Amino acid sequence: MSKFKVYINLEHFQYLVDLVHQYDHERFVCLMGNVETVHNRQAIVIREMQVFEDNDYEELHTARCKPKKSVIEQMMRVVDKKKYSVYIEYHTHPFNFPHFSETDKEDERTMWKCFHDIFPNKYYGNFVLDIAGRGEAVIRDWHDGNLKTFEPIAY
């Protein structure tokens, strides 16, 4: 069972599903929000979504995207300024869903260490969707340095 359910408004969720079908290169989106009580249970509620433009990347390939450090730092400032408790990075995998690669895992560990140094009491996670955009979405949390799977819910 998931530690948290992740609530993403339907419009944002549909946008993420639509990005899955852009096959020219991977896409990257930052999801930010808070841990809140929903139906008497703790859940993550996404409050803001930042979509990266092509010029926000150092590298942009079909099977790899590398956002610029300055863009990630900008997202960290948003998390801090708006007092969000959750930062989730979403990226697509053209033609291969849902699957986290070993490269993803290593990138996540590195980002978690950086994020945790700045925000030790906040959640950092990663999200991919299957190509049909149906219930096989995967969100992984690195809050304490260990992987956990979350369940996304469109509302």
Give 141's pLDDT tier (boundaries 50, 70, 90). low
Give 136's pLDDT tier (boundaries 50, 70, 90). very low
- Residues 76-112: b if buried by 16+ CB within 10 A, e if exposed: eeebeeeebebbbbbbbbbeebeebeeebeebbeebb
The pLDDT tens digits for 49-91 are 999 888 998 877 666 778 899 999 999 999 999 999 999 988 7
The pLDDT tens digits for 95-134 are 655 556 666 677 777 788 888 899 988 888 888 775 554 4
Pairwise CA distance, residues 24 & 58, whole Å: 16
Phi and psi torsions of 140, nearest 5°: -115, 140
Pairwise CA distance, residues 64 & 145, whole Å: 23
Asked whether 123 and 87 are in contact (CB, 8 A), the reply is: yes
Kindly list the domain boundaries of the chain, sorted by start residue. Answer: 5-154
> Is residue 147 predicted with pLDDT exceeding 70?
no
pTM of the model: 0.82
Confidence at residue 22, expressed as pLDDT on a 0 to 100 scale: 75
CATH of 5-154, one of 3.40.50.1820, 3.30.2400.10, 3.30.930.10, 3.40.140.10: 3.40.140.10
Pairwise CA distance, residues 19 & 74, whole Å: 22
End-to-end CA distance of the chain: 20
> Is residue 135 predicted with pLDDT exceeding 50?
no
